[in-house]
Amino acid sequence: MTSLASEFAIRTEGLTKRFGSQLAVNGVDLRVPSGAVFGFLGPNGSGKTTTIRLLLGLASATSGEIELLGRRMPDDLAAVLPEVGALVEGPGFYPYLSGAANLYRLDAADGHATSVTRSARVQTALERVGLSHAAGKKVKAYSLGMKQRLGIANALLIPRRLLVLDEPTNGLDPQGTREVRSLIRLLAGEGTTIFVSSHLLAEIEQICTDAAVMSVGRLVAQGTLSELRGVGGARVRLESPDRNAAITVFTRFGMTVAEPGPDGTELLASFGTLEPAPDTVVAALVEAHVRVFSFTVERPSLEQRFVDLTGEGFDVAQ
Segment contacting ligand ATP (CB under 6 A): 29-37, 43-51, 71-79, 202-210? 43-51
Minimum separation from the CB atom of position 284 to another protein (A): 51
- Map the footprint of another protein across residues 144-183, applying CB under 8 A: 154, 158-159
Segment contacting Mg ion (CB under 5 A): 41-49, 62-70, 117-125, 256-264? 41-49
Q: Look at residue 170 and give its three-state secondary structure.
A: coil
Check binding of 95 to another protein (CB under 8 A): yes
Q: Which residues contact 203 (CB under 8 A, 6 or more apart)?
A: 169, 177, 181
Q: How far is CA 291 from CA 18, 37, 183, 238, 256, in A?
A: 59, 44, 48, 10, 20
Check binding of 60 to ligand ATP (CB under 6 A): no
The enclosing H or E element of 176 equals helix 174-189
Minimum separation from the CB atom of position 23 to ligand ATP (A): 9
Minimum separation from the CB atom of position 274 to another protein (A): 44
Check binding of 48 to ligand ATP (CB under 6 A): yes
Check binding of 50 to ligand ATP (CB under 6 A): yes
Segment contacting Mg ion (CB under 5 A): 43-51, 141-149, 203-211, 292-300? 43-51
Segment contacting Mg ion (CB under 5 A): 48-56, 205-213, 267-275, 284-292? 48-56
Please name the amino acid found at residue 237: R
Q: How far is CA 96 from CA 6, 121, 125, 132, 140, in A?
A: 42, 22, 20, 18, 6
Segment contacting ligand ATP (CB under 6 A): 37-45, 146-154, 228-236, 258-266? 37-45
Q: Give DSSP secondary structure letters for 189-230.
A: HTT-EEEEEES-HHHHHHH-SEEEEEETTEEEEEEEHHHHHH
Cα 318–172–68 angle (5° rounding)?
60
- Map the footprint of ligand ATP across residues 164-223, applying CB under 6 A: 199
Rounded (10°) angle between helices 174-189 and 144-155: 10
Please tell me the number of Cα atoms within 13 Å of 155 on its side-chain side.
29
Query: Applying CB under 8 A, which of residues 16, 29, 45, 58 lies at the interface with another protein?
Result: 58
Binding partner at 163 among Mg ion, another protein, ligand ATP, none, C-beta below 5 to 8 Å by kind: none
49 vs 154, beta carbon nearer Mg ion: 49
198 DSSP β-pair partners: 41
Determine the Cα–Cα distance for residues 43 and 18; give it in Å rounded to an integer.
18
Check binding of 47 to ligand ATP (CB under 6 A): yes
Minimum separation from the CB atom of position 164 to ligand ATP (A): 13
Q: Look at residue 294 and give its three-state secondary structure.
A: strand
Binding site for Mg ion (CB under 5 A): 49
Binding site for another protein (CB under 8 A): 53, 56-60, 77-78, 81-82, 84, 86, 88-97, 101, 104-117, 120-121, 124, 128, 154, 158-159, 186-187, 190
Binding site for ligand ATP (CB under 6 A): 19, 24, 42, 44-50, 199, 318
